[in-house]
Every structure is written in structure tokens, then in C-alpha cells.
Structure 1
């Protein structure tokens, strides 16, 4: 053997020995986007009487804006964001302090003195964003701080889907924005994204059965196959009939300032009649569309945050949830866990929680319990990140399945901030 070959062999042997003896880096964050291992823990379908009752409640809440003669709140409540953010150190999209003159102009344009003077029913004609101030510009806290900056735009209230019913309070001074009450939140929408509806159109839409989109981000066309918008899962359409392989649906379009209903087709593989039966294959079908989606604070970039994910999980089954996590934690039967140790919390969750029907709440975050594996409780949730000991974040940034001890092996993790440590309650949204 030549000297060069001998040296190469020695080097390879040394590398093999070193690799075998060197400490292995632990797999620090165990996350998954595979729902299949948990589907065997899905309970049987709901009794038809309960399914019918829940769906009736869903429709009543969904169509509530069209049952109102005016917004059922006050100008003071509607303008809370003005008082909340006034005087705070705010930052703009360029990471520089937000000019006070810009903020003041937004407030003046909002014209809350005109609150509840228009009082007209409307509908969302394509997906958009509900804003706290009448502007698309963002509001950030200091982007140099952990957990601040993009995507945490505090002007973003919620994403809002096409076909969503509205009642309009008034328009901004410049006429470009409408202050609205949707089924789940108040805020500002661009006037170009809404259309005013007649009482006859309301009657038609409410009378027809509903289809829920079960596939993420599908293209929607008008009756002449002109593209209109992309619809996310849990978008609802009025169902006007069927033909081979397709549902006939009504889609909203705008003519002038008013609604025009266009007939279109939706592949049957992309949607289902509501309420969807809450059985194993349907639970898997819905959950698999939500998993892996990037985290989107308040619906930023048309992605979901934690409470939007849980809301859209339950919606196709005809089960209503409020928009924010704190309100969702009060749905159904709530069980207080905050005085218990981490191990006691998990013990009760494993004993009492019903997979795919139970929410786990901690301040600022909510998760869907999906069952257990090897003695641990697992949840499906859209999460931004794990808090670290230095006040920073280890970014997850998407919808995943994890146990409740996520980050326990992460050396820099703040152990007091693990999910299990911070859980305050669980609530069984749907009981038998």
C-alpha cells in the first residue's frame, strides 16, 4: 500500500471513530404534519339531532349581521384601537418610528362621529383583510424586540373570506373604507372589496343550502370561467344545484356598488355540503389541509394564526367558534387547569379531553387536542415559536402536531414557558 493510500485509510478510520464516539446532537423539536396516526382516536359521528342543532346555531351566528338594523355596539367600543395605540411607540413598515401625523390622519379619516349613519347590509366579494384603521399600512411595535416586527402587524384584525355577510356602519371620510360588523369581528374593509346587498338577495342566499370548501386555496371563476379569486378552506358558498362532477354555486361579484350573483361550478372533490359529518375520514380530510400552513398573524399573507386554524377546522362541520383564542376557550364545557402542576394538567387532559373536539388554551394561544401517543397528549396548532431564556424565539412558524412539552430539550428554551406550563384550561367544544 502506498504512503498516500495508507494515510487516506488512517484518516477514514479516525473519522469513523470520532463520529461514533462524538456526542450526537439531539432532535430538539419534535413536530409533525401527519394527521393519520391520530385518526383512530376520532369518536363516532355526532347524533343527527345534535348535528342539526349545532348547524342551526352556526347559521344564526354567521348571518347575524344581516339580521341587524344597525351595528350592535357603540362608537366608543368601535374606536377602541384609537385609544389603545395613541401615545404608544409605534413603528412603520420601514422599521422606523411611525410618524404621528400619519397615525392622526388615519384617525381623522375613520370619522367615528359618523358611526351607525349608513347602516347598510353588504357582502365580501373576494378575500380581504379586516383592519383596525382604514389603511393597508402596518403598525408594528419595536422590530428589534423579540417577538415583534413582521408578521405582527397590529393593524391586522382578521382575514375575512368571500361571501361573508356584513352590516356597514359608515364610510371613511375619503370614501375608500367601510367600517363593518362581520359575524365575528369589527373593523375596516376596503370599499372595493364589498358589495351592498338587497333584501331579495339576502333572502336568496340564506334560503339556499351551503357548501364548504374542503381544499386549500382553490381558484374560483364566474359563469364565463373568468378568474375571480382564490378561496381558502372553510369558505362557504350558496349551493344552487349539481351537474356531473360539479356543484353549481352562486359567487359574489360587484356591479357599481351593489352585489351581482353569478352562477359558477365547483368540482365536487373540492367541497362538500354542510354540515360535514364528523367522522374519521372527514376529520382527516379537513385537518390535512390545515397542517403545514405558514403562521399568519391575524390572517397576514392569507395564512392562519392559531385561532383561525381552530375556527376553520370546526366550521365545515357546522360548529361555530368565535375568532380569538380567549373567546374560543369559553366554548362548550370548560375545565380550569391553571392551579395544577404540568404533570397533573397532562394527566387530566389525557383522561378528560376528547380528541378533535377539545381545545387547550394558554394566554395568546389555542390548540386542538388530537389524542395521545406513548402516554403523552398531542395537539394540532399553528404556532409562531418557542420562547427562549434570553427573551427570544425559536421559530416554528407553521401549523404542526406536537406534544405539550415542545422545546423541553432545547437548551436555550425558557422552561417556565413550555406549552404545558402555560396551559390554563381545556374546553370540550362538542359533548355527546
Structure 2
């Protein structure tokens, strides 16, 4: 026994306990799953300066139909506009839906949810109130936590899950649910329902002062936490996703003890929390310097795009930011937000809007699409219906992408030369080649590409 234990300890200490790499993803070697593999072909040149990024965001928030600054809303909103936003999410599905039990959603269920949304009880003018998000939370189609699905076994896609919001984000509070527990809110890239417990109400001026504070700490890791503390539970171990940005404070302002801890080895941030009456409080909170954060946004470079993307590699797919993860657009959105860029929420909105320059390939020939792919730059976004991929480089003429994706399909052959469609699963942030992947037997990803966007001057 001692001999076996000694041998195991020696092997562990020397790092010689090897595991063979096996995958059903075509064209992928283990070395490709590290950012270093791709960084050799990346540039550290800045594509957009902070000043130009600010101009991009301001232009898109003003002009893009899928983006808006909630603080730009007036003191009142027309009932007609609110009805449009409500109908955009709080509508009955056009095809059958099911509960996790397999039981079908009935007309009575839809009537119950529509009654909770009170969409038929809108005055001509709605006063606009404001708030800050205080915890990672879901934006929902209806004011309910009930989950519904398209089909049995389709558990990754809760069809009431619309998106996610994160601490420190501004929202306009527009409408309340029948039970008083939910707000219908306008976020910068979405309008949907959120639990009131996730939002602290404040004046427009308070919210603007918070989101516009110039000295900020950017979350550059996939996810980090505020430091644990036993004195202020509202600020203890708060989850912060990549792209979250919070105002920084100094020890000279708050002293040398924050929630019972000396702040010198941590960053001090101003964190929004919710009082018992629903109002906003801003509390000094610590984030350890050892966590993956930095002062201000990262420079927008090819190398940073790769480094940030690979921080999510292997994370479970989360439709609409479900499962504490993210989906394909959440993934690329968080990567670019850590460098200061805001994007529309859904892939179709991103692909078809003018938030970034690009090449429109809808209706083009396969040769034209392949010619456009040959011109790809690291970080370019490739759009097919319902999905977006981020280009990371080429290997022996094959373009590769990193994307948050559910399915895996490609043709495989046998010894007799016969081909059949292999269907597997990915359900996470994955590195794959582009050309072999298929939507079905008749159409591959290349056929389906309708747009490519470049985040650059």
C-alpha cells in the first residue's frame, strides 16, 4: 500500500499523470483550447480608442432601434409606447408550450399570465421612475418564475427567459404586475419583467450620477465576487459578471476599515443595494485585488478579444443568461462590454442593425460568402439565423470560431465512403471549425451566413 501511495504521490508531484484528449468536435486539438494557441496571430493594436468607443455607444443609443438609454426617457411615457413594449414580450406563443412535468400549457395558463401583466389596464400617460439593478437577475416575458418549454427534453431553453441584468445597470420602471412584486422595465437593450427585489428605486439624478461616475472598476473575469463580510449582508459575496462596471472609491474617502476589513489589499467600489422600502443605498464594498478586474475598460485589441473570450470556454450554455451563464449573444456582448462597447441583445438585432460596420451576405452566392470569410479579422462577428460566432483565426485554411452553442452537427464518413449526419451536443462556450458545421443535411453554416460585423474604425 505504501509503495502504491508513494508512486501516486510522485506521479502527482511530477505532473506525469496524463490524460488522453478525446472529442467528437471535428478539427479540434487540445492545444486549441488555450488562448495562447491563437494569440500568435493577434495584434495588440487598439481598434477603437476610448473616445471613439464613447462616440459609438452614444450614436447607437440614440439611433439604433434596438438600443436606448433608459435615462433619456422623459418624465412620462405614452400608454401606446408601453403597450408596444409589453406586446413585444408578454404575448401568447404561436405554438404549443409545456411545463417541465410534460403537461401542456393551457388557455387558462395564458390568461393567468396576461392578467398578471395588466396589459389591458394602461393609462394614456405613465410616469417614468428609475432604479439601479442590485443583483444578477432575469428579465422575463411575464411576471412569473414559472418555466415553460417548446418540447420535452428541451430543458436548456426556458421560453419565458428573455435576458439578464447585472448590478449597477440603470433601468426605467414603467409598469407593475398585478401582485405588485414585479416591475416592467426598460433596460438599455431590452424591455421585460424583473422582480422588484432585484432593483432599488432612485431619482433620475441619483442613477445618472452613479452610471456616469468617471473613475470605475471593470470586471474583466468571467465572474467575480465582492469580498465576504459579516457586517453588510447586502454587499457580501455579490456575483459580478464580465462587463459590470462600478464606481471606485478611495480609502481617504471611506477610511481604513470597510465592513471590518482593511481595504488596502482590495479595490473599494460603490455598490448599489436595496433598502427595506425598495429605495437605493450606495455602500462601500471590497473586491480583492487578486480578482480579475481592472481600472476602466480594457483596450479594444485582437489580443484582448481572444483573452476575454477564452475566459468563458466550457461555461454551460444559458439561454437568456439562464443557469448563471449566457447564450451566444450574451457571450459576445460581455466580451465586448469589458472593452467598453454596448451591443443589441439578440443575434437578429445585432446582425441586421447598423450598430457596427459589416458585410451583408443575405442572398449572396457561396463563393461570395467564402470570399468574405477569407477576409475575416480576429474578433469579427459571424451571423447565421438565431446565432452569432466570434472569429479567432485560421488553421491550414480552415476558419475557427469560439461561440456559445447548443448543438453539433456535421457529416462523417465510413470505410465504404458513405456519409451520414452526426448529431451531438455542445451546450457551452466552444471552439469549433466553421466550415464542417451544419444546420441540417441540406444546409451548412456557410450557406446560412447572412452578415459579418467588424468592430473597428
Place the TM-score, normalised by the shorter chain, in its bin: 0.7 to 0.9
Specify the SS of the correspondent of 1:74. helix
Q: State the match for 2:46 in structure 1.
A: 46
- The alpha carbon displacement at 1:84 in A equals 4.6
- The alpha carbon displacement at 1:200 in A equals 4.4
CA contact (8 A) 2:69 2:188 kept: yes
Q: CA RMSD in A?
A: 2.9
- The alpha carbon displacement at 1:123 in A equals 1.2
Change (3 A) 1:201 1:184: same
Q: State the match for 1:336 in structure 2.
A: 360
- The alpha carbon displacement at 1:234 in A equals 1.5
Specify the SS of the correspondent of 1:381. strand
CA contact (8 A) 1:346 1:376 kept: no
Aligned with residue 399 of structure 1, among 429, 433, 441: 429
User: What does the per-residue CA deviation read over 1:185-221, in whole Å, with 9 as the maximum and x for residues that have no partner?
Assistant: 0000011111101244224312342222112232224
Specify the SS of the correspondent of 1:215. coil
Specify the SS of the correspondent of 1:378. strand
Aligned with residue 187 of structure 1, among 158, 175, 192: 192
CA contact (8 A) 2:221 2:293 kept: yes
Aligned with residue 372 of structure 2, among 334, 348, 361: 348
Q: State the match for 1:417 in structure 2.
A: 443
Aligned with residue 241 of structure 2, among 232, 239, 247: 232
The answer to whether 1:162 aligns with 2:167 is yes
User: What does the per-residue CA deviation read over 1:369-402, in whole Å, with 9 as the maximum and x for residues that have no partner?
Assistant: 1121111111111111035899995211111121
User: What does the per-residue CA deviation read over 1:353-373, in whole Å, with 9 as the maximum and x for residues that have no partner?
Assistant: 2211x1100000001111211
> Which ranges in structure 2 are unaligned for 5 or more consecutive residues?
1-21, 62-66, 252-262, 412-419
The answer to whether 1:312 aligns with 2:334 is yes
Q: Between 134-143 and 208-217, report the one with greater CA deviation.
A: 208-217
Alpha-carbon distance between aligned partners in 1 of 2:273 and 2:226, rounded to the nearest angstrom: 12
- The alpha carbon displacement at 1:34 in A equals 2.3
Specify the SS of the correspondent of 2:338. helix
The answer to whether 1:209 aligns with 2:224 is no
Q: State the match for 1:220 in structure 2.
A: 226
Alpha-carbon distance between aligned partners in 2 of 1:210 and 1:392, rounded to the nearest angstrom: 48
User: What does the per-residue CA deviation read over 1:239-297, in whole Å, with 9 as the maximum and x for residues that have no partner?
Assistant: 22376443211111111210100101222342112221134653343122122111111
CA contact (8 A) 2:224 2:241 kept: yes
User: What does the per-residue CA deviation read over 1:132-173, in whole Å, with 9 as the maximum and x for residues that have no partner?
Assistant: 1010111222326xxxx2111111100111111000111111
TM-score by length of 1: 0.83
Alpha-carbon distance between aligned partners in 2 of 1:246 and 1:26, rounded to the nearest angstrom: 41
Q: Between 257-266 and 68-77, report the one with greater CA deviation.
A: 68-77
The answer to whether 1:321 aligns with 2:343 is yes
User: What does the per-residue CA deviation read over 1:83-122, in whole Å, with 9 as the maximum and x for residues that have no partner?
Assistant: 7525642211212101322221110111122366341001
CA contact (8 A) 2:305 2:336 kept: no
Change (3 A) 1:369 1:82: closer
Aligned with residue 135 of structure 2, among 113, 118, 126: 126
Alpha-carbon distance between aligned partners in 1 of 2:429 and 2:357, rounded to the nearest angstrom: 25
For residues 275-286 of structure 1, the aligned pairs below 5 Å read 275-279=297-301, 282-286=304-308
Change (3 A) 1:102 1:81: farther
Specify the SS of the correspondent of 1:417. coil
CA contact (8 A) 1:250 1:262 kept: yes
